[in-house]
Each structure stands twice: as C-alpha cells, then as structure tokens.
Amino acid sequence: MGYYDPALRRVVLVGGADQPRAAGRDRVWSWSGRHWETVTDSGPAARSTAAIAYDMRRQLAVTTGGGRRTPNDSSFEVIADTWEGGPTSWRRGSGAELGARDHHAMVYDEARNALILFGGIPARRSDPWPGDTWERRPEGWVRVATDGPTGRGRTALAWDDARREVVLFGGVSAPGADGRTQTFFNDTWTWNGTAWRKVADEGPPARYAHAMVYDERARVVLLYSGAAAHRGAPLTDMWQWDGRRWTEIRLTGPTPGYRYQPVMVYDRARGRTVLYGTVDGVKDDTWEWDGQRWTEVVP
C-alpha cells in the first residue's frame, strides 16, 4: 500500500508482507528518490490486500480492511478495522466500520475533501461482491451510493484533478454459479461526489489488479499492467485517460514488465510516478515514470 505525504514531501509505503499475522504491525517506509528509508516499525495493524489514501483535509493517512493470518497462523481472516496516522504515529480509527472486506479501492476526492471507497471482496467469499460506495466522515464510514459500477474486486481508482472527479476502471466480478466463471471489466466510470456515470466501454483490454494514478504534469490518469481476462494472462501495457478517451502509451526501452497490484504513486515534489513491487511473484524493485519512459532506480 502506498500514498503521497505532502507534509513529508515523499511517497510512503506501508506494509508489504504477503501473509502478515494479526499480532504484528506494518513497517512504514519513505522514498527519497534514490532509496527506501524506514520511518517506523509500528505502523497500522498488519494486513495485506487493503486500501490506503491520504486525507488532505485532516492531514493523515487512512487504511481500512484487508486480510492477515490469525495469531496462531492457522487460517486467513478478512478484517474491518480502520487505522489513521502516518508516517510515524498510527492509531485505530473511531466510528462505524464498513464490514470486513479486502481487494477494495480508495482515493481522496480533492474537490469535495472526502475519502471515497468502492467495492471489494467480502469476508464470506460466497456472498455477493459489493458495488457500494463509502465516504469517511467524523462518525465513521457512511455509505453514499449503491448504484453505479457492478460489484467487483481488484479494481482501481484515481483522482483526476484536471476534471475534478474520481475515475474507476476495470476489475473482476464474483465467480459464477460454477465457482469458476468470472466477468472481467473494461468499463470506465467517474464519480462526481453524488453519483457514478459510465463514460467509456472502450480503451484498455479488460483487466484486474492493475494500478492507476494521476500525473499532474501531463494532466492525465495513467494506468499500468494488471492481469487480462483471457486466462489471467499478464499485461505489460500502459494507457492514459484525458477525460474523453483512453490512449495507449507506446513504451520503448526497459519497463517494469508485468505487475499484479503494484504500489504506484505520483511523487508531487519530484514530478515522477513511482512504482514498487508486486503481489504476484517476488519483485522488490523500484521504477519511475518521468512522462516519457520508465527508469529502474537502483539503490
């Protein structure tokens, strides 16, 4: 999980363990532009497949949901708690929870000063996958919409500052009655603070577990990698959204290659998009996109 901290003026990485345990705490790191530096070993309660975003109005990061191993390491549990803080001090958030889920997406709506969360996979995997939208308020999580994109997990959200709206692309549905068949989405939706609107059914091929971020210099939303609908094939393509259409960015030279749910954050201080790691395979490398090409940053 990662976010940009405007006070620290750095990209912050939280956690990283593939199978964290309930008794642990996540480690927090920051990116200097050359290497990762440990900020604290006492971040939020350990978790994976959660969501995180920075609340600019309250000047703190918020993470919620996810999964972890039970204390005796006998099983995997999906959780509902919310933690706030960063980068050095974290505490459990108060107020209403939204129910245990993982593989959801969260972003900060800068026009309305609100944290927005969508979808995910419920703790009871056989239950319908939610297509609800939530907002973080002083009283806790409040559901603000149930209409919009079909329920899905492993989708991605990005704040589009040029158009002043949240953008959602792709994801995957719950398994069908046979327990295997799933729908892979390539639809694009925007959130204006009160309702979702479908704006495109064309663009990048259907996928899930991809990454999206807003590039402030280019004034476009960037999308990278993920897994394709066809047999879960890995994707290594990159696209940009200008508010009207998706356009593929033809990559030349070295690239990060296939990534499944990587951390991808725009570094506002340095004007670079930072990409780290993947949850599919062992990769702990760091890459940066300068608007023209990818460069691996070797510490």
With bands split at pLDDT 50, 70 and 90, how would you rate the model's confidence at 146? very high
Give the range of the structural domain holding residue 224, as residue numbers without chain letter: 2-296
Mean pLDDT of 181-198: 96
CA-CA-CA-CA torsion for 142, 144, 146, 148, nearest 10 degrees? -140
Number of Cβ atoms within 10 Å of the Cβ of 123: 16
8 Å CB contact between 112 and 132: no
pLDDT at 71: 84
pLDDT tens track for 51-86: 999 999 999 999 999 999 988 888 899 999 999 998
Residues 6+ apart with CB under 8 A from 267: 4, 10, 11, 31, 33, 273, 274, 288
The two tokens of residue 68 are: 């972890």
Share above pLDDT 90 across residues of the chain, in percent, rounded to a whole number: 86
Taking alpha carbons only, the member of 3, 36, 130, 114 closest to residue 78 is 130
pLDDT at 194: 94
Q: Which CATH number does the domain housing residue 132 bear? A: 2.120.10.80
CA distance 148 to 132: 8
Domain count of the chain?
A: 1
CA distance 242 to 126: 37
pLDDT tens track for 221-230: 999 999 997 6
Q: What is the pTM of this model?
A: 0.95
Q: Is 120 a residue whose pLDDT tops 80?
A: yes
pLDDT at 74: 81
pLDDT tens track for 259-292: 999 999 999 999 999 999 887 666 789 999 999 9
With bands split at pLDDT 50, 70 and 90, how would you rate the model's confidence at 141? very high
With bands split at pLDDT 50, 70 and 90, how would you rate the model's confidence at 16? confident
Examine residue 87 and say whether the peptide bond preceding it is cis (omega within 30 degrees of 0): yes
pLDDT tens track for 199-220: 999 999 999 999 999 999 999 9
Share above pLDDT 70 across residues of the chain, in percent, rounded to a whole number: 97
User: What average pLDDT is seen over the chain?
Assistant: 94
pLDDT tens track for 86-110: 899 999 999 999 999 999 999 999 9
- Give phi and psi for 211, each to the nearest 5: -125, 145
